Amino acid sequence: MNFKKELAAILFELLDQEITAAELELMIEKPKNSAHGDLAFPCFTLAKLKRKSPNLIAQELSEKIQSPTFEKVEVVGAYLNIFLNKKLVSEQLISSIFEQKGHFGAQEFGNGGNVPIDMSSPNIAKPFSMGHLRSTVIGNSIALILEKCGYKPIRINHLGDWGTQFGKLITAYKLWGDSEKVKQNPIKELLALYIKFHDMVESDPSLEDQGRSWFKRLEDGDEEALTLWQWFRDESLKEFSRIYELMNVQFDSYAGEAFYNDKMDRIVKLLEEKQLLVESDQAMVVELAEEQLPPCLIKKSDGATLYATRDLAAAHYRKENYDFVQSLYVVGHEQSLHFKQLIAVLGKMGYEWAEKMVHVPFGMMLKDGKKMSTRKGKVVLLEEVLNESISMARHNIEEKNPNLANKDAVSKQVGVGAVIFHDLKNNRMNDIEFSLEEMLRFEGETGPYVQYTFARACSILRKANWQADLHPKNYTNSWEKEWKVASLLMEFAPAIKRSCENFDPSQVAKYIVDLAQAFNKYYAEVKILEESSEREARLALVYSVTVVLKEGLRLLGIEAPQEM
């Protein structure tokens, strides 16, 4: 269904110029106004090559283009406006959706290449923040979209599970901790202990030394320290897992910062061998002045390694283990400098694959215009947010459709879907305002709106007793009224491709809102179920819309209930 390609091939045949079909394809536009045709081709570039007036070239070409696909060619100045044969093209489209079902829109340009995606990556013993939510949702959708384009995504949860804070936490736990309380409410308790440590240290600075010495014991493999750390990690993961389960996100690896403890020496040695490591204020750094970046700190004066050291080891590990074609880091834009430094250091080490590493940043989640953060003690618990969204969705369902079966399952699909869609519908760099009321609206650009449109289309098919395996071929209609919806269905694959290339799920999110709107308009104008010779074609279109809406939602990590 790539009409640009098809047109480019025809133009190429007609032109016999030193211009390739691929170049021609890039020149083909899509007119904003459908009255100007489905495709447009400006002749200015050709005019230069041929030393002829562009209007003349347009005129000549228009007389020569002959193809069943392109029904009509109009010349407007230097432009060719080209109209597709609605009937032929729509029927081809419908039959490819019938055949491919959920695979419709799939592409192969990823060629099976591995793409590790560093995503979510919360810090253990700390609450899961809105930034971690965004990373989880954006990363998961990018993974699904890459997979649809033929890549092999590898979801990696680079847990923040190492660092001096664990020495402090162990100190606090030994002094004031209660194992029962921690078991019941791990993150809340551990966070409280951590905060208490910081409160107490002001009057008792010796706590700082105790913290340091516990961290040293941890780094030296002391059994008691390790057992406590392992327990904190396990309990934290249990809590995070509940959130991942709610959101239906799975990881291929939980190799976090601690995983690289024994893999950093090698990196430090390599840096030494390559004479990149220099001393500065007793610490070891890599100078990045040539790159116009501040130096990257590799080892502190006491020999402790840092976040960046772990990320250097992780990047090597990922290259060696996954031989990636690209390696993504879905992390908030406040860490941009860190990733610039990371990539610059690897570049200095001579690794070309450093160029394949991409920081995929995103904006902040705001509440009333301010950053939604985990302030001392007052924690915005993500699980609570999700559960609240689910119960609001349930409330809406009770009002609109009190007799619905599986209300629990549907409320979860709608409540969680609303939060995810709200996150993904904007270009990821935008800051977004958090508002449950806004997310859960049934109108406008929301997840529930798209889900509701899907459910409505399913209900039409149910009422008609229509089944996908009936594959009618002799449609009698002209596809005029259906054209807006049909031509949008053809835009699914390009929208997926744009999302994939820009690591930006909002292209798919906006696309499915457009499709849902066009479909609802069609639904309002055309009596789909009315007996007529066109009924079969209309139902085939409705079915096609269900396939694409469902798959579009799936690519965002959102489920599509048949009824709601």
Name which position in 110, 139, 160, 211 contacts ligand ARG (CB under 6 A): 160
Beta carbon of residue 124, minimum distance to ligand ARG (angstroms, whole number): 9
Beta carbon of residue 383, minimum distance to ligand ARG (angstroms, whole number): 17
Nearest Cα neighbor of 86 from 66, 72, 74 is: 72
Beta carbon of residue 524, minimum distance to ligand ARG (angstroms, whole number): 47
Report residue 202 as tokens.
Answer: 């002001």
What is the CB neighbour count within 10 angstroms for residue 64?
Answer: 12
Nearest Cα neighbor of 468 from 94, 103, 148, 106 is: 94
Name which position in 81, 90, 121, 487 contacts ligand ARG (CB under 6 A): 121
In degrees rounded to 5, what are phi and psi of residue 70?
A: -100, 105
CA–CA separation, 323 and 132 (whole Å) = 26
Interface segment toward ligand ARG; rule CB under 6 A; list 37-45, 117-125, 355-363, 411-419: 117-125
Beta carbon of residue 119, minimum distance to ligand ARG (angstroms, whole number): 8
Name which position in 123, 236, 341, 507 contacts ligand ARG (CB under 6 A): 123
Using rule CB under 6 A, residue 329 touches ligand ARG? yes
Q: How far is the CA of 131 from the CAs of 127, 335, 344, 350, 423, in angstroms?
A: 11, 11, 25, 33, 11
Residues 139 to 158 in contact with ligand ARG, rule: CB under 6 A: 158
For ligand ARG, how many residues bind (rule: CB under 6 A)? 10
429 alpha carbon, distance to own chain's centre: 12
Asked if 156 and 139 count as a contact pair (C-beta separation under 8 A), the reply is: no
Using rule CB under 6 A, residue 236 touches ligand ARG? no
Asked if 455 and 564 count as a contact pair (C-beta separation under 8 A), the reply is: yes
Interface segment toward ligand ARG; rule CB under 6 A; list 95-103, 118-126, 219-227, 273-281: 118-126
Q: Looking at beta carbons only, is 79 or 259 nearer to ligand ARG?
A: 259
Interface segment toward ligand ARG; rule CB under 6 A; list 81-89, 114-122, 215-223, 475-483: 114-122
Beta carbon of residue 121, minimum distance to ligand ARG (angstroms, whole number): 4
Asked if 493 and 540 count as a contact pair (C-beta separation under 8 A), the reply is: no
Q: Which residues contact residue 8 at a Cβ distance below 8 angstroms, ignoring those fewer than 6 apart?
A: 21, 22, 24, 25, 28
Name which position in 118, 423, 504, 559 contacts ligand ARG (CB under 6 A): 118
What is the DSSP-derived secondary structure letter of residue 70? E
Q: Looking at beta carbons only, is 231 or 307 nearer to ligand ARG?
A: 307
Using rule CB under 6 A, residue 163 touches ligand ARG? no
Pairing of strands 296-299, 357-360: unpaired
What H or E segment, with its residue span, contains residue 481?
none
Interface segment toward ligand ARG; rule CB under 6 A; list 115-123, 194-202, 410-418, 470-478: 115-123
| Contacts to ligand ARG by CB under 6 A | 118, 121-123, 158, 160, 311, 314, 329, 331
